[in-house]
Amino acid sequence: MKIIPCGSVPTSVASDSYFTGRVLQTPMIEAQAPARLRAVLVSFEPGARTAWHTHPLGQTLHVVSGAGRAQVWGQEVQEIRAGDTVWFPAGEKHWHGAGPTTAMTHIAMQEALDGSAVEWLEKVSDEQYGR
């Protein structure tokens, strides 16, 4: 057993290379092999969002507070709210983030394949976001 004490892992501001707007990330777990699980608490200020991206083994989001948006490439933007759980299959191009006027926090869970848990792509435009 390993206990990671509250406050022992610092929160950081997410890179603007992969996010639009202010986003805070607090790592929760990066399991050691043979496990592959990675989980991060991600807090988006209103209007903030990820860039388009994929995950080699899929991704699960659990919204813990607020309301936001998520979209799969070629589909309509979907509203997500506290209590919702969202699953993106392996390789599915998508983005997620806060609503235009509401903050949103979710737990992002994904597994790493050969050390990689995400492939970042182009940023989501304001038009795609639906402002």
pTM for the model: 0.94
**Confidence at residue 115, expressed as pLDDT on a 0 to 100 scale:** 86
**Confidence at residue 131, expressed as pLDDT on a 0 to 100 scale:** 60
Rounded to 5 degrees, φ, ψ at 122 are -70, 160
Q: What are the chain's domains?
A: 21-114 (2.60.120.10)
**Confidence at residue 22, expressed as pLDDT on a 0 to 100 scale:** 98
CA distance 119 to 59: 12
For 128, how many CA atoms within 13 A lie in the half-sphere containing its CB? 20
pLDDT in tens, the chain (131 residues): 989 898 899 999 999 999 999 999 999 998 888 889 999 999 999 999 999 999 999 999 999 999 999 999 999 999 999 999 999 999 999 999 999 999 999 999 999 998 899 999 999 999 999 86
